[in-house]
Chains A and B, each alone.
Chain A
Amino acid sequence: MPQGERELPRPTPETSHFWEGTRRGELRLQRCEACGTVYFPPRHFCPKCGSTYVSVFRASGRATLHSYVISHLPAPGFEPPYAIAVALLEEGPKMMCNILECAQTPEALVLDMPLDVCFEKINDEITLPQFRPARES
């Protein structure tokens, strides 16, 4: 398993807007226009009320570090130890990510620390949304 390339997302019809957004440096979420729920992963209807009256919008990119592990196991395309994290977006949804531009240690990775989205271009088709510690404003 350690050999080979990192697994890349294979976009599907309901997620194409998301991956198009990351290519353009935008983190896109969906909002239900009927009940106001903001949700992720993408789908063509609201998972809370079932309405198909939904829209896509650009998220703020602000988040906090909700939880994580630091994996010491080999993984294709990764150099252990590396953190696998979950960012809690300002808009409500959670999203898995790695934490870039940060030491991969418990001391550096503090729960609830503010994060900002950043984008890791893998190839012409795929750019992954990632997060890094928020810079002092």
Chain B
Amino acid sequence: MRPNSVAIVGASETTELGKVPTMSQVQLHADAALNAIADAGLELGDIDGIATGGHNPVEIAHYLGIVPEWLDGTSVGGCSFMLLVRHAAAAINEGLCTTVLITHGESGRSGLGRHGSSIFPSLFQQQFERPYGVTRPPTMFTIPVLRYMKQYGLTEETLAMVAVVQREWAGLNPRASFRDSITVDDVLGSRMICYPFRLLMCCLVTDGGGALVLTRSERARDMRRPPVYVRGTGESGETPLISQMDDFTSSAAFRVAGARAFASAGISHGDVDHLMIYDAFAHLPIYGLEDLGFVDRGEAGPFIAEGHTRPGGSLPLNTNGGGLSYMHSGMYGMYALQEGVRQMRGEAPAQVEDAEISVVHGVGGMFGASGTVVLTNVA
């Protein structure tokens, strides 16, 4: 893609996050969509492209009263929204549509109006994994980490520090679900979910949604909000089966998506002011920091434990509190993008001063897919 050719001109989460027993899943999509369209200073009739993950985009379009000229329903898990930003930019550049609305809504906690799986199902997972008692993500996403711990000497204490540091960020965010500070002892004393993962190393389960509006940058400059440019993007997928991940200490999808995003944006790691790494579980920022190339293999745990990613550190990471403390409806990628946009607009609750480049990195499935988006406020 051409750097900065497309911009995010509208962005919003649902009016409420957390426990929203008054809204079905499609309502959450619509609430976020209406908020984002208003944020952009546009009207429903201005939208001619509809994209969503985990929900039928035709239903979203119909519910909003839009007959679109472009649709995308890529549903590869929580990073689907990073991929959809990339696909939307390509579609806008190709002239397939002018103004794309990307929506997310998930009644993850209340379960209202949910139907089926939010990710395309896998034939081989049915035959070769589900019979062994894998059920929800904590029983699958966590499987590679003991191999990583043995290979690099990562300790449970250091793994716990990921949750501790992210809670520091959450403490600065009034909308975060959990804001009280925690210690390593709190994390290691919390209930065992899936050894070696304890409750506080696992993401929340909440209700919510978010939406983005994208259009060509030339048009964006005359719109209501300062444009947040899509400077670079990458995407990839490795396997729908956690057991078939090639290297249990590194994600091929992360490496491919990240490298492509950095190359297309024409940036190096030193240019990055703000970083979001999808954290459904505490090991994900560790894998992400290494696979994106911010630190060498085996160094991410100590890097976090030493405070480099905490408030005031050299690499502010997951500044909304992340999926561990902010919110996690099931497909968290949209919320990571929303925080990237807030940071680039200079309006985040825990604002990184003078931040000009934000990298937002997502995972889908269990290390299955990945999408990386580089955002900037500099044209």
Is A94 touching B243 in the complex (CB atoms < 8 A)?
A: yes
* Cross-interface CB contact of B193 among A9, A68, A73, cutoff 8 Å: A73
Is A12 touching B123 in the complex (CB atoms < 8 A)?
A: yes
CB-nearest residue of chain A to B123: A12
**Given A68-B146, A69-B194, A128-B131, A96 and B139 touching (CB < 8 A)?**
no
Q: How far is the CB of A42 from chain B (nearest CB, A)?
A: 9
**Given A10-B126, A41-B124, A84-B132, A71 and B139 touching (CB < 8 A)?**
yes
Interface size class of B (residues with CB under 8 A): 35 or more
Cα separation A86 to B137 with both chains bound (whole Å): 16
**B residues near A112, Cβ cutoff 8 Å:** 150
The interface bits of chain B over 143-166 (1 if a CB of A lies within 8 angstroms of the residue's CB, else 0) are 111110010000000000000000
Q: How far is the CB of A35 from chain B (nearest CB, A)?
A: 17
Interface size class of A (residues with CB under 8 A): 20 to 34
Is A6 touching B138 in the complex (CB atoms < 8 A)?
A: no
Cα separation A82 to B143 with both chains bound (whole Å): 13
Cα separation A112 to B144 with both chains bound (whole Å): 13
CB-nearest residue of chain A to B148: A67
Is A9 touching B131 in the complex (CB atoms < 8 A)?
A: yes
**Given A73-B138, A75-B133, A82-B133, A68 and B143 touching (CB < 8 A)?**
yes
* Cross-interface CB contact of A67 among B131, B135, B191, B248, cutoff 8 Å: B248
A55 part of interface (Cβ distance < 8 Å): no
Q: How far is the CB of B205 from chain A (nearest CB, A)?
A: 13
Cα separation A71 to B196 with both chains bound (whole Å): 9
CB-nearest residue of chain A to B198: A72
CB-nearest residue of chain B to A94: B243
Q: How far is the CB of B217 from chain A (nearest CB, A)?
A: 41
* Cross-interface CB contact of B143 among A7, A8, A78, A86, cutoff 8 Å: A86
The interface bits of chain A over 36-55 (1 if a CB of B lies within 8 angstroms of the residue's CB, else 0) are 00000100000000000000
Is A73 touching B244 in the complex (CB atoms < 8 A)?
A: no
A103 part of interface (Cβ distance < 8 Å): no
Is A84 touching B195 in the complex (CB atoms < 8 A)?
A: no
CB-nearest residue of chain A to B246: A94
B127 part of interface (Cβ distance < 8 Å): yes
A30 part of interface (Cβ distance < 8 Å): no
Is B127 touching A84 in the complex (CB atoms < 8 A)?
A: no
Is A15 touching B127 in the complex (CB atoms < 8 A)?
A: yes
Cα separation A71 to B304 with both chains bound (whole Å): 27
The interface bits of chain A over 64-102 (1 if a CB of B lies within 8 angstroms of the residue's CB, else 0) are 001111111101011001101010000000111110000
Is A67 touching B147 in the complex (CB atoms < 8 A)?
A: yes
* Cross-interface CB contact of B139 among A15, A69, A86, cutoff 8 Å: A69
Is B243 touching A72 in the complex (CB atoms < 8 A)?
A: no
Residues of A within 8 A of B (CB): 1, 6-12, 15, 41, 66-73, 75, 77-78, 81-82, 84, 86, 94-98, 106, 111-112, 128
Given contacts A67-B144, A67-B145, A84-B140, 14 further A-B contacts (CB under 8 A): A6-B133, A7-B126, A7-B131, A8-B131, A66-B147, A69-B195, A71-B135, A72-B194, A73-B139, A73-B193, A75-B134, A75-B135, A96-B243, A128-B131
Residues of B within 8 A of A (CB): 123-124, 126-136, 138-140, 142-147, 150, 191-197, 241-244, 248
